[in-house]
Amino acid sequence: SALPGLRSLDLSDQIGDSEDIEDEARSEGAAALGRLLSSTGLRGLEDLNLSLVWTGGGEACAKAIAARHLPNLRSLSLRETDMVPSGVLDLANAFAAGKAPELRVFRLVDCWVPDHLQSSDADPTFEVPDALVKALNSGHLSQLTVLQLQEVYDFFGA
């Protein structure tokens, strides 16, 4: 493990305005973040802050958690982060499957789906609330002490 002592990683406030990010740059940023979060060097990570990361941070995190690359994660902050509904759905499903058993703090605050990323065909937006309820009722988040779901209208059909 390259960084066995790393317990906290704050990558917040990396990019200025989500509307200025081209799809290709967002894709490249998400891929790079995905590689970082999936590296074996971060298995001891307990605190991850991806607030104001507008390059697919939520989706990359969801994939890393689903693949059990962040087994010791205790705190996850996704504040003012653009995400596609499938990313939130993947995250909720990973929680429901017990892939973040140490999670104590989860903040999903003021997140939205950018207009250019919204789709009308296979949009799982309305599945998100049920998936989050399923995750909370699964018993796999028994360590959770702080849950903040605030201003996430795009995921609740409002």
Neighbours of 57 (CB within 10 A): 28
Report in angstroms the alpha-carbon separations of 99 from 1, 54, 62, 69, 87: 20, 24, 10, 9, 15
| Chain mean position to CA 77 | 8
pLDDT for res 53: 77
Summarize pLDDT for 45-97 with one digit per residue, the tens: 999 999 887 677 788 888 999 999 999 999 999 988 777 777 888 899 999 99
**CA distance linking residue 87 with residue 62, whole number of Å:** 6
CA atoms within a 13 Å half-sphere pointing along the CA-CB vector of 48: 30
Give the residue carrying structure tokens 């250019």: 116
**CA distance linking residue 28 with residue 23, whole number of Å:** 9
pLDDT for res 10: 93
